[in-house]
Each structure stands twice: as structure tokens, then as C-alpha cells.
Amino acid sequence: MASKKPENMTFEATIEELDTLVEQLEAGDLSLDDALKKFERGIALARSGQVKLTEAEQRVSILLQNDDDAPLSDFDTQSE
């Protein structure tokens, strides 16, 4: 069965698969080639998950603003 592209997966499915990959890699029972393939898949999943989180943060920021014409600004985790 072919793996879905990370960008076509839900955030929850991405995290679930990433967790499974981490468990498999930590077990240490994989050949070097298999471990490398799983690591590469994990990197792709992690990047995709980060993109999804960033997009969600931007959507929330837009929804919380009162001005419909306000420009987007970078999300700042330090302010609060």
C-alpha cells in the first residue's frame, strides 16, 4: 500500500503516523536502509504538520481581528 502524501493527510493522521515512525525508529530493529526511508518520511510528515499548524494560526488570527481589511502579520509566540 502506497503512503499518502503528507500534504493530503489530516493533521491528526500526520501526527499519528509520525508517532508510529518514531516508535519504529526507537526500537532499533530496522535495517539502515529502512530506517533512512522512515526517517525521510518522518521529516516530510513533520514539515507538513508544521505548515498545517502555521496555516491554522493564521486563520485564527484573521478571524480574531475586527478589521476585515487589516493586513496579515507574522504570528508572534512571545506576545501575550
Residue 46: inside a domain: yes
Torsions phi, psi for 7 (to 5 deg): -70, -15
Integer CA distances (angstroms), 13 to 20, 27, 48, in order:
11, 21, 11
Amino acid 67: pLDDT: 65
CB 48 within 8 A of CB 12: no
pLDDT, averaged per 10 consecutive residues of the chain (80 residues), comes to 78 94 93 95 95 91 73 63
Residue 71: inside a domain: no
Residue 76: inside a domain: no
pTM of the predicted structure, to 2 decimals: 0.70
Task: Residue 54: give its domain's CATH number.
Answer: 1.10.287
Q: Name every residue whose Cβ is closer than 8 Å to that of residue 43 and which is 6 or more positions away in sequence.
A: none
Residue 73: inside a domain: no
Residue 4: inside a domain: no
Measured distance CA(23)–CA(10) in Å, rounded: 20
Q: Which domain holds residue 15?
A: 10-63
Number of domains within the chain = 1
3-state secondary structure at position 7: helix
